[in-house]
Amino acid sequence: MTDLRKTVERFWTTAEARDWDAFAETLAEDVVYDLPQTRERISGRERYVRFNREYPAEWHLRIERIVAEPGQVVTWAHVTVGLEEMYAISFFTGDENGRIAAVTDFWPEPYEPPAGREHLVERY
């Protein structure tokens, strides 16, 4: 657990720093990246690093929470892309060497709650 958590922390730190060589070191050679909402998959370290390096907009992130257990880590990140703010939930699976073998990203869209529960909730 500790090794993969540290690897994921380094993954995010090096991504934010755009240190693509160090970022690549956190990944297994055969890493698989899934985006279920767009039904896209990227296989392999080189392609995944390139995908991140070539992202067309300036973005930054702040980790809100990390939950770790043996072999798995989940992160909740606050992401800004230009003036837009969003959240990402990422699930990481490690390999036997403590590297990231799989990443699954979810980018939930904010929405307005349904009417009728205003008396129960506080909006923030």
Q: How far apart are CA 53 and CA 116, in angstroms?
A: 45
Query: Which of 21, 29, 37 has its CA nearest to residue 95?
Result: 29
Q: What is the CA radius of gyration of the chain?
A: 16
Reading the chain (124 residues) residue by residue, the pLDDT tens digits are 459 999 999 999 999 999 999 999 999 999 999 999 999 999 999 999 999 999 888 899 999 999 999 999 999 999 999 899 999 999 999 999 999 999 999 999 888 988 999 999 998 8
Query: Which of 7, 6, 11 has its CA nearest to residue 61?
Result: 11
Q: What's the predicted TM-score (pTM) here? A: 0.90
Query: With respect to CATH, is domain 2-106 assigned 3.10.450.50?
Result: yes
What are the extents of the domains in the chain?
Answer: 2-106
**Structure tokens belonging to residue 65:** 């929470």
